Amino acid sequence: MELIKQYIIQSISTASNNLRLSTQKIEVVALLREAIVKSENLEADIRSMKKITELSTLAIRLNEIHTYLTQNQIDLIKLSDKFKEHSQYLIKDLSHMLDMVNPTTFRNALEKLKENAVVAVIPEPVEPIPNKNENNINIDLSKRKPDSKLFDETESNKLKEKIIFEEEKEDEDLFFQNYENEILKTIKPIDGMLKQLSKNEVSSEELQIFAKKMKINGDISAKIGFDIIANMHWIIAKALLLIRTRELMPGKDVIESVRACLIVIVALVRGKEVDINNYLNRAEVFGKEIQTLNIKGSI
């Protein structure tokens, strides 16, 4: 990750840790960090954020930080103090933005950023130069081939259309109505399994069954827009498969990291008004650590 992005993301995380965040606000902070990570032109995206009402105040502060990092000679000795200063200033601006948005409206704001980015790269149309030597030219438009690129659909739109047009099954409707129960009923068995894992009292088959269930629940959560919950499920699923193939040893740190994922899932599904930033941060760091590990053998 680029140093500038890492600095800004850590500033946001530090600021958010000083706020008492609801589950929805935690979701928004995670989406903000993800948007920064994925940005291909952070400076341009921050400028575009200034034009969006909900994001403008925060964008002004982020622009100040970005300018400091890119246009000034950084004094490394004072960098730690400057980081604390930036994080402190961000608390008020981040809180202001979080009071104005929810996960849905924030996603809509991010879509506006993408639209602005697309508009910025589309060149202005060039007026054709008339030929003074030719008059009354008949143009046969029927033979003109449209530019297929103009009609290309994004993967996101294709997925939206697929979900809209696909026929819903009665058992799926019933399942989504009981989403909370379906998700939570797997948590306690896995938590109990983790307590036995350090004693090497869990079979390979159990690990595979639980991993498969977490993968399924993660996919379902992603389908209905619960991105953080989905990611927590996928992290657990991969961790269990890595433990099964002995690519990951179930030490205390690993077990506590998996439990952090479980805690985040329960808190978000039940809508608990508690600060789970520490658990979320630990779970996300753990997810990045195992991201590069490959599951060997049959699963």
Q: Quick one: tokens of 159?
A: 């997925």
pLDDT at 197: 86
What pLDDT digit, counting tens, does each position of 56-92 carry? 889 888 988 888 888 767 777 778 888 888 888 898 8
Q: What pLDDT score does 55 carry? A: 87
Question: Could you give the CA distance from residue 99 to residue 96 in angstroms, rounded to a whole number?
Answer: 5
pLDDT confidence of residue 134: 42
Residue 117, sorted as left (phi over 0), alpha (psi -120 to 50) or beta, turns out to be alpha
How high is the pLDDT of residue 88? 86
Give pLDDT, residue 169.
Answer: 43
pLDDT digits over 99-152, tens only?
888 888 898 888 887 776 554 444 445 454 445 444 443 444 444 444 444 334
Is pLDDT at 40 greater than 70 in this prediction? yes
Compute the C-alpha angle 170/175/180, nearest 5°: 155
- C-alpha to C-alpha distance for 86 and 58, rounded to whole angstroms: 12
Instruction: Please choose, from the candidates 4, 117, 107, the residue with its C-alpha nearest in 3D space to the C-alpha of residue 65.
Output: 4
Phi, psi of 114 (to 5 degrees): -65, -40
pLDDT per position as a tens digit, 138-182: 444 444 444 444 334 454 455 545 444 444 444 444 444 577 888
**How buried is residue 92: exposed, middle or buried, by Cβ count under 10 Å (0-12/13-18/19+)?**
middle
Alpha-carbon distance values, 171 to 160, 179, 182, 219, 221 (Å)? 21, 12, 13, 17, 16
Taking alpha carbons only, the member of 269, 261, 251, 253 closest to residue 287 is 261
Residue 210 in this model has a pLDDT that exceeds 90: yes
Write down the pTM of the prediction: 0.50
Q: Which residue has the higher pLDDT, 167 or 48?
A: 48
pLDDT over 80 at 26, yes or no: yes
Mean per-residue pLDDT over the chain, rounded: 78
Distance between CA atoms of 208 and 269, rounded to whole angstroms? 24
What pLDDT shows up at residue 157?
Answer: 53
* Other CB atoms within 10 Å distance of the CB of residue 233: 26
Distances in whole angstroms, Cα of residue 138 to Cα of each of 134, 141, 142, 144: 11, 9, 12, 13
Q: Are 246 and 262 in contact (CB under 8 A)?
A: no
Residues of the chain with CATH 1.20.120: 173-291
Least confident of 9-23, 151-165, 230-244, 266-280: 151-165
- pLDDT tier at 198 (50, 70, 90 boundaries)? confident
Residue 292 and residue 53: Cα distance in Å, rounded? 39
Q: Is-contact 82 42, C-beta < 8 A? A: no
- pLDDT, tens digit, for every residue of 238-271? 999 999 988 999 889 999 999 999 999 988 887 6
Q: Where do we find the tokens 């000034």? A: 72
CATH 3.40.462 is right for the domain spanning 173-291: no
Whole-number pLDDT of residue 239: 94
